[in-house]
């Protein structure tokens, strides 16, 4: 330890672990809901049962779904089981989101969560997921260490004087990386203050509001520049998430 050969390990507090478990439970519920919805769609398409509506979450589609009759009783049981799974996961998602808001109000990182929501595309769930996954941000000496922790950096192959960069590595904290990439998609549109952003900005200091607008202008410009160079949209979004 005196010689500096040991690397310190960050140990989250009990409250940090509790909020991390809640945020990951919400993320898992959302993933299960998407999987169940796709499974239900695949079942209907496999039996050539098609809806005439445009959206599968509107009341008209729900009424149509309740009137679906499969060719055999066994297949009807499978379809009803898939519908029940979608209904349960849909009801569970808002319950977890509501349960997540109460403990965050007394969390020691609550000011960080509020400040991060000043950024465009970073709403409550994205901010909580990011902070819960990262913990105390002051443990990173510089931004490059944080990027390496999230592995929002391209892989590299070096042989002698030759160095070649590849795709983004898939190691690191996947929860925070997914949340940041999800929020980064908002910067593909021109910079503006939407109707939801002022509600998140009104309780924050003026300095944070100014930084939010400065970051939005810079990142929207960065997105357009990278797209103009012919980069793929997914690569551009990862670059925005890294910044």
pLDDT digits (tens, 9 = 90+) for 76-89: 999 999 999 999 99
- Among 174, 95, 170, which residue's Cα sits nearest to residue 133? 174
Q: What is 38-82 written as a DSSP string?
A: HHHHHHHHHTT---SSS-SSSHHHHHHHHT---SSHHHHHHHHHH
Q: Per-residue pLDDT for 203 more than 80? A: yes
Q: Express each pLDDT in 19-66 by its tens digit.
A: 999 999 999 999 999 999 999 989 998 988 888 777 777 788 888 888
- Among 97, 88, 85, 84, which residue's Cα sits nearest to residue 26? 97
DSSP 8-state assignment for residue 166: E
Confidence of residue 194 (pLDDT cuts 50, 70, 90): confident
For position 186, what pLDDT does the model report? 92
Confidence of residue 215 (pLDDT cuts 50, 70, 90): very high
The token duo for 217 is 């202008």
Q: Express each pLDDT in 184-193 by its tens digit.
A: 999 999 988 8
Confidence of residue 158 (pLDDT cuts 50, 70, 90): confident
- Among 216, 241, 236, 209, which residue's Cα sits nearest to residue 225? 236
Q: Per-residue pLDDT for 172 more than 80? A: no
Residues in the chain: 243
The token duo for 214 is 């400065």
- % residues pLDDT > 90 (the chain): 48
- % residues pLDDT > 70 (the chain): 99
DSSP 8-state assignment for residue 191: P
For position 4, what pLDDT does the model report? 84
Angle at 186 between CA 90 and CA 92, to 5 degrees: 10
Which pairs with CB-CB distance under 8 Å and at least 24 residues apart come from 16-19?
A: 16/109, 16/132, 16/135, 18/103, 19/100, 19/103, 19/104, 19/107, 19/128, 19/132
Q: Express each pLDDT in 111-148 by its tens digit.
A: 999 999 999 989 999 999 999 999 888 888 888 888 88
For position 152, what pLDDT does the model report? 79
For position 22, what pLDDT does the model report? 93
Q: What are φ and ψ of residue 155, in 5° steps?
A: -70, 155
Q: What are φ and ψ of residue 56, in 5° steps?
A: -100, 20
Find tokens 């100014």 and name the residue: 210
The helix/strand/coil state of 33 is: helix
Q: Per-residue pLDDT for 157 more than 80? A: no
Task: Report the chain's mean pLDDT, rounded to a whole number.
Answer: 88
Confidence of residue 72 (pLDDT cuts 50, 70, 90): very high
Mean pLDDT in residue range 211-236: 93
Are the C-beta atoms of residues 114 and 204 closer than 8 Å to each other?
yes
């Amino acid at each position: 330890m005196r010689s500096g050969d040991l690397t310190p390990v960050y140990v989250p507090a009990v409250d940090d672990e509790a909020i991390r478990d809640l945020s990951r439970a919400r993320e898992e519920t959302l993933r299960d809901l998407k999987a169940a919805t796709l499974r239900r769609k695949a079942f209907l398409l496999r039996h050539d049962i098609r809806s005439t509506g445009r959206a599968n979450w509107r009341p008209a589609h729900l009424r149509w779904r309740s009137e679906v009759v499969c060719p055999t009783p066994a297949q009807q049981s499978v379809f009803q089981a898939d519908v029940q799974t979608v209904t349960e996961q849909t009801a569970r998602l808002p319950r977890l989101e509501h349960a997540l808001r109460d403990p965050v109000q007394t969390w020691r990182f609550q000011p960080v969560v509020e400040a991060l929501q000043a950024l465009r595309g970073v709403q409550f769930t994205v901010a909580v997921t990011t902070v819960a996954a990262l913990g105390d941000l002051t443990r990173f000496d510089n931004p490059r260490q944080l990027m390496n922790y999230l592995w929002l950096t391209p892989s590299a192959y070096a042989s002698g004087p030759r160095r070649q960069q590849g795709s983004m590595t898939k190691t690191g904290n996947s929860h925070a990386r997914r949340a940041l990439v999800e929020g980064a998609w908002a910067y593909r549109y021109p910079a503006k203050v939407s109707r939801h952003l002022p509600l998140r900005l009104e309780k924050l200091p003026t300095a944070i509001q100014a930084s939010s607008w400065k970051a939005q202008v810079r990142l929207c410009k960065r997105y357009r520049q990278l797209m103009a160079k012919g980069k793929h949209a997914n690569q551009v979004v990862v670059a925005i998430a890294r910044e």
